[in-house]
Chains A and B, each alone.
Chain A
Amino acid sequence: MGMTYAIVAQAVGKRYSRYHNNRPRTMMEAALAGYRRMRPIEQFWALRQVGFAVRPGQMLGVIGHNGAGKSTLLQILSGVVCPDEGRVQVHGRMGALLDLGASFHPDLTGRENVFVSAIVSGLTHREVQQRFDQIVEFAELSAFIDNPVRTYSTGMQMRLAFAVAIHNDPDILLVDEFLSVGDVAFQSKCLTRIGELKSQGCAVVLISHNVEQMQQLCDQALWLEDGRVREYGDPNPIASQFMALMSTQNATQAFHDYSRQVEVRTVRLWDRHGHPMTEICSGDPITIELEYCAHQPMQNVIFSISISDQAGQIYFNTNTATPGLTIPLDRGNGQIKLHLDRLDLRGGSYYANAGIFAEDWSTTYDYHWHTYPFQIQWTPNEQTLLYPPRSWEIRTSDSIVNVELT
């Protein structure tokens, strides 16, 4: 393995053990309980067969649900936790934005804490002295640097911690969801600084819940699911797949939580002739009918209808509260129809979604998401999302040409 990579992970696995609930925690108990209880009752792999490589100057974004193993992976890369199988090779000085500010001591001044935590992060005393002014300036704390850290706000502590962590000239930077700290201006400053480090050849591994941000910043993406690699490669397709999965999962998870005083029985789609519809042309009218069943009388409810694509992007969304409709319901079934004169979306697969809400939106009675598919046909070879009625008007010196298109 050459030095062309800053980080190489090959078939990395980490196994954790669950112990007996009353595993002895003291020598006295161990003596009484014997060796049997010391052994784990169950083992599970927090990570398995995870492999990737990051070159200097590249950024790898790690996405995945909570518990997918993202933080474990970062701990393994940082060397704090040892992998149980596979191989991790890391070249260069390590910088980490994990546990920001945890090593600060409240009774020490900002200045003293900068020295302690910068030296702990790998700089010599002389190197800290050289960078000290830069660090304080970056943190925007010059006026407070000789006050005890306990007098700092959380934001100030985070700024100082970040400034220290980012100034040890790392060859490898591990970032765990840091952008949840600090104000927006400081966050963008941090991103700029990370970008600088990257252009100087620092390899960055970033955990992010913000998929769009990962898409913008990263050269590669790693999608972890239950400790395995689900996708690894170009961030753009991975990000859209991940977002699509997130939205459908959110919808199905939430499905069971609805109170169901009023239910969506079904949703039907009609074309211009009143026939059931599964496919229309771009620009055709469409009628969306929602059949509901009220299990108890209601003073007022809100019906909501939306159209989204497979990735979960909502293109159209409307509800009965916007025109100020009051819709009292008696017990029993009923229908409500939404007529759209045109649907000018470009071709593709879409879903009609329908929901019923309390009049103050506080309760979702029922919601059907990605249940009713339909197609829109498409012919023009144009990169567009919308295709409304349009006309061109062309004026030359001697004539006016109007071209109307439908």
Chain B
Amino acid sequence: MYLHTPHSAFFQKRQLIYYRDLIRELVVRDLKLLYKRSMLGVAWTLINPLLQLAVFAFVFQSILRVNVPQYASFAFSGLLVWNWTQSSLFQATGLITSNRALIRQPGFPIAVLPIVIVITGLIHFLLALPVLLMFLVWDGASLNLNFLFLPLLLLLQSLLTIGFAYPLAALNVVFRDTQHTLGVILQLMFYLLPIFYTLEQVPDTLRGVYQLNPMVALLEAYRAILIRGVNPNGFALLMLVLVIAGLLPIGYRIFKRQSQRFVEEI
């Protein structure tokens, strides 16, 4: 048994400030490294979805002639949302092997690492948001006060991603191919999500299965507030909250339990 009592008198308040500072510092570090490593820096986070968008627009509008109104806004919003979750999950799964030094630091709260990864992804999302807004304006989307739901959706997506990231990171310690397997699954998931097609185009018999995927509820909610300017589906969001409420504590417990072995395994 290991008991550590950091006996500062202002322990509670200081600790909250500390976690805030720690997460901010690690996020800033990741962003700085991205800036320093390439001339284009953060621009890369835009170039990738824009290129994907250009290809989708060409394939689905000029060749397959999918009839989705405001296609640029539709596909681009889907791409940004999914890229955030996809890259965060992929990175978080490998966090034990890519953060050896931090894990060996005494007293370091390893559980902040998935949070750092998701927040870094969130910042990339926010940096790309002006471009999305340009598409929305260009497509004549009905932007209105429903836009204010955006912070709520960002929070829910963050929590959902963190909830998946914890158990995956723990699993990767036992099985080193978790990250590779996950990469394949995430890539396939991209096609099984209504990113470049709409949920309505999915056959009726399969739509129910689709809606079991919490990412579908998120994608639909984002599009409701951004493109259609309507309230997100309250029931779907409530289910999403319940999924998060179940997933996050369980995932965290698994991670916490496994984290005692991290140093031995790396």
- State whether B177 touches A26 (Cβ < 8 A): yes
Q: Once the chains are docked, how many angstroms separate the CA of A82 from the CA of B260? A: 6
Task: Judge if B32 is at the interface, Cβ distance under 8 Å.
Answer: yes
Q: Once the chains are docked, how many angstroms separate the CA of A276 from the CA of B16? A: 79
Q: How far does the Cβ of B174 sit from chain A's closest Cβ, in whole Å?
A: 8
- State whether A27 touches B177 (Cβ < 8 A): yes
CB-based nearest B residue for A24: B175
Instruction: Say whether, besides A96-B105, A103-B101, A80 and B33 are in contact (CB < 8 Å).
Output: no
Q: Once the chains are docked, how many angstroms separate the CA of A83 from the CA of B105? A: 17
Task: Judge if B5 is at the interface, Cβ distance under 8 Å.
Answer: yes
Q: How far does the Cβ of B31 sit from chain A's closest Cβ, in whole Å?
A: 11
Instruction: Say whether, besides A76-B2, A103-B101, A16 and B264 are in contact (CB < 8 Å).
Output: yes
Number of A-B contacts (CB under 8 A): 112
Main secondary structure of the interface of B (DSSP, over half): helix
Interface string of A80-92 (1 = CB under 8 A from B): 1111001111111
**A83: B residues at CB distance < 8 A:** 1-2
Task: Judge if A145 is at the interface, Cβ distance under 8 Å.
Answer: no
Interface string of B1-17 (1 = CB under 8 A from A): 11111111000001001
Q: Which of A116-124, A301-309, A338-346 contacts B (4 or more CB under 8 A)?
A: A116-124
Question: Total interface residues on A, using CB and 8 Å?
Answer: 46
Q: Which of B3, B181, B260, B263 has the most CB of A within 10 A?
A: B3
Q: Once the chains are docked, how many angstroms separate the CA of A89 from the CA of B103? A: 21
Task: Judge if B253 is at the interface, Cβ distance under 8 Å.
Answer: no
Q: Once the chains are docked, how many angstroms separate the CA of A125 from the CA of B107? A: 17
CB-based nearest B residue for A93: B6
Q: How far does the Cβ of B253 sit from chain A's closest Cβ, in whole Å?
A: 15
- State whether A105 touches B33 (Cβ < 8 A): yes
**A125: B residues at CB distance < 8 A:** 21, 24-25
Task: Write 8 A-B pairs (CB below 8 A) sorted by A numbering.
Answer: A27-B175, A27-B177, A88-B1, A92-B6, A94-B106, A98-B104, A103-B101, A116-B29
Apart from the given pairs A79-B4, A80-B103, A87-B3, 18 other A-B contacts in the complex at a CB distance below 8 Å = A25-B175, A27-B177, A27-B178, A28-B177, A79-B106, A80-B105, A83-B1, A86-B1, A89-B3, A98-B104, A99-B101, A102-B101, A108-B33, A112-B32, A116-B26, A116-B29, A124-B14, A125-B25
Give B contacts to A, CB under 8 Å: 1-8, 14, 17-18, 21-22, 24-26, 29, 32-33, 36-37, 100-108, 175-178, 181, 260, 263-264
